[in-house]
Amino acid sequence: MSRIELDRDRCEGHGLCEEIAPEIYRLDDDAELELLVDEVPPELLAKAEAGARVCPVAALRVLS
Ligand code: SF4
């Protein structure tokens, strides 16, 4: 199964990833991004990848 790599130093908390895939990405009250899954289930893979693609600072990578 695929995993998501988050570069916390890059993430600026814009939340675009969360808008696209709230099942996977969530900003907490301090605008810190939380990953809601350790491994991406197949049915959410396309959304996980779409969320990673829209990140303006390329802080997300989906590793398969
Ligand atoms: S879109 Fe990128 S910068 Fe914005 S919260 Fe998600 S990972 Fe962080």
CATH of the domain at 48: 3.30.70.20
**Which residue type does 19 have?**
E
User: What's the 13 CA to ligand 1 centre distance in angstroms?
Assistant: 5
Smallest CA separation from ligand 1 atom 4, residue: 14
pLDDT at 60: 98
Q: How many CB atoms lie within 10 A of CB 8?
A: 8
List the domain range (segments joined by +) for residue 44: 3-63
Ligand 1 pocket test target in 6, 12, 35 with most atoms within 8 Å of CB = 12
Query: How many domains is the chain partitioned into structurally?
Result: 1
pLDDT at 64: 85
pLDDT in tens, the chain (64 residues): 899 999 999 999 989 999 999 999 999 999 999 999 999 999 999 999 999 999 999 999 999 8
